[in-house]
Amino acid sequence: MSERLLAKLRERFGASVLETHSHLGDDTAVVDPARWKEICAFLRDDPACDMQMLVDLCGADYPDRTPRLEVVLHLYSIARRHRLRLKARVGDEDAEGAEIDSVVDLWQGANWFERETYDMFGVKFRGHPDLRRILMYPEFEGHPLLKTYPANKTQPLVAYRTEEEAGVPLEKLAPFGDDEGMSFGRKNGDATGDATNGEA
Amino acid sequence: MEPVDLDLEESALELPAEPMHLNLGPAHPAMHGTVRIVLELSGETIEKADVQIGYLHRGFEKMCERGTWAQVFPYADRLNYVSPMLNNVGYALAVEKLCDIEVPDRCQWYRMALGELARISDHLTCTGAMAMELGAFTPFLWFVKAREMVWDILEEETGARLTHSFGRIGGMARPPTPAFKELVRGSTKEILSLLEQGEKMLLKNRIFIDRLENVGNISQADAISLSWTGPCLRSTGCSYDVRKAHPYLKYDEVDFTVPVGTRGDSLDRFLVRLDEIRQSVRILDQVCDRMADEGPVSADDPRVMLPEKDAVYTTIEGTIQHFKLVMEGAKVPAGECYSYTEGGNGELGFYLVSDGSGTPHRVRIRPPCFSITGGLSKIIMGRMLSDIVPTFGALNMIGGECDH
């Protein structure tokens, strides 16, 4: 059904559709980020596509690729009951400079999804009316879902107390020691990089 | 004594004209869930509303990238704590799609039964809590009593009342207990009668109706554009339900209807949920009739299933297989997939990316109430402050899921 969609996209946008595949029943098109909004508008407004609903918009990080980040968009047509996954690759090898057009004008629901993707991956959406963090607090530094963001890093809003400040012995000092709790080391990328990390 | 109002001019009697700022939440007794709404009020009318979420953010997606595929189940439970079973099954189906596994028929029926029980519990909680926030405490107690019966069944089946962690890749943790069908048949009658009592009490209540009717209206086009799904979308008249539009498990073999509303207001959302409970009971009846009493509930696939305990303790192959599955995790073929099911609040999607190892590369959840809460500021704009409570209640935001 929606393989025709992919054919239509290739026909209409030619070289801007970089890659297509249909795997496990999901049809995917990887497109040129420069034409992102144009392609989205076409998918929404073309009567044969009729993608009235933006189901999901999220990011994904592939640290060994350049461009490193992917913006993944899932579209659905309620009337025609077909789905399409649209992806665009953005950002350099350090996930810097990731920018793409916002699609809030096309689907109002994109507003929060784009804010979340910005919050988690640092992708900037050009033309978004209100691009600020949504899940993390404004003082937070970095983007937590990047593979290079250490999973065991803490950023407390109020600094942890030391024993000198408290004036009494504290039973436990935070952040907790490396030898405590679950090892976050199944895959590397953690801050400490000591013996608790590495192969589990 | 001089009269005080003698030399007062008209203008001095007017209230200050600049808008008032009010923080509603994040811990407000009339709002269930931790959400903050920063309001700009003119009198009691809302001029601007900024809905802020994230207070319950626990880094679900980050945590999933640290463990094995099977270790995601407990996290999935905690995303939606009123219908955890639906999340369990949704995640299991997503991984099975990636591994290309189909579970046995008996398991599919069983998953449907547990899922519908969870849906009943979700809708009872939502409608009951909403009534309670409007001052109707008795129906809330009746609904919670009905939910208690659902939880008793789930406890009997899974051993846990709330966080079941009962799903497995390729099956369920245990087969249904011998008394399962009897328990379900016995309680559904009782649940329906409690529901009817509560419904009678609320729908003949002028105050309740007045506070819901034509409050929080949304048009169908707006709801679709805002990515709404589930009962909130169906209240606008759009009949999109994943169980009907893209049947999974055995939903194409059972008979049920999708209740829809007409006005898209809070009352419609309330009524749609009540009707969905009745439809879930209908599905449960059919599942009880059709689920086999014997047969396997887990796929016979050594790639993902733990071997029998006998084999683990007596054979070297069993020990090795068990060790590898627990320590390294089931190896899921490299690739990506988006799998979607009908959760309590709408389309619950999982977008999974595997790099072929035992640890997920990316687990993305598409929580239905994230986009629904995203539309909250739009539907309360221009309304009165007191309308927020029923409107928010009818959206059924689940903090854990919305904030990931």
> CA B153, CA B107: separation in Å to the nearest integer?
17
Q: For residues B167 and B77, give the distance between their C-alpha atoms in angstroms, rounded to a whole number.
A: 10
Domains and CATH numbers, chain B: 60-402 (1.10.645.10)
What is the rounded CA–CA span in Å between residue B114 and residue B241? 18
With CB atoms and an 8 Å threshold, state whether A60 touches B353: yes
Q: Report strand pairing: A124-126 vs B335-342.
A: unpaired
Q: Strand order in B45-52's β-sheet? A: B20-24, B36-42, B45-52
Closest of A189, A99, A185 to residue A147, by C-alpha: A189
Residue that has been written with the tokens 């990636």 in this structure? B98
CB contact under 8 A, B61 and A120: yes
Cα B237 from Cα B329, distance rounded (Å): 44
Is B356 in a helix, a strand, or coil?
coil
Helix intervals (H) in A14-166: 36-45, 110-121, 163-166
| B313-333 burial: b if 16+ Cβ within 10 Å, else e | eeeeebeebbeebeeebbbbe
**B205-241 pLDDT per residue, tens:** 898 999 998 888 999 999 999 999 999 999 999 989 9
Rounded to an integer, what distance in angstroms lies between the CA atom of residue A75 and that of residue A103?
12
Tens digits of residue pLDDT in B356-366: 888 899 999 99
Q: Please state the φ and ψ torsions of residue B387, each to the nearest 5 degrees.
A: -75, -15
Q: Give A88's pLDDT tier (boundaries 50, 70, 90).
A: very high
Strands B335-342 and A99-101 turn out to be unpaired
CB contact under 8 A, A55 and B349: yes
Considering Cα of A8, then A12, then A15, then A16, what sign does the dihedral take? negative
Query: A114 exposed, middle or buried (CB, 10 Å; 0-12, 13-18, 19+)?
Result: buried
**pLDDT above 50: residue A188:** no
Amino acid, res. A171? E
* A21 touching chain B per CB within 8 A: no
CA closest to A57 among chain B residues: B366
Sequence-distant (6+) residues with CB within 8 A of B6 are none
DSSP of B120-132, one letter per residue?
A: HHHHHHHHHHHHH
Q: Which residues face B352 on adjacent strands?
A: B337, B363
Flag whether pLDDT at A185 surpasses 70: no
Query: Quick one: angle between helices A36-45 and A3-13, nearest 10?
Result: 130
Q: How far apart are the first and last CA of chain B?
A: 65
Q: Do B245 and A23 touch (CB under 8 A)?
A: no
Residue A191's pLDDT is 41
A38 burial level (CB within 10 Å; 0-12, 13-18, 19+): middle
The domains located in chain A, with CATH, are 3-126 (3.30.460.80), 150-200 (no CATH)
Please tell me the least confidently modeled range out of A60-74, A156-170, B184-198: A156-170
Q: What is the pLDDT of residue B1?
A: 57
Rounded to the nearest angstrom, the minimum Cα separation between B350 and chain A is 10
Query: What DSSP character marks residue B167?
Result: E
Q: Which amino acid is at B361?
A: H
A78, B224 Cβ separation under 8 angstroms: yes
Residue with tokens 């629901």: A109
The type of residue at B229 is T
Structure tokens at B181: 């069908």
* ipTM rounded to 2 decimals: 0.89
A83 interfaces chain B, CB cutoff of 8 Å? yes
The 10s digit of each residue's pLDDT in B291-324 is 988 888 888 888 888 888 899 999 999 999 999 8
Nearest CB partner across the interface for B226, out of A23, A109, A137 = A109
Is residue B113 a contact partner of residue B288, using CB atoms and an 8 Å limit?
A: yes
| pLDDT, tens digit (0-9, with 9 covering 90-100), for B322-333 | 998 888 888 899
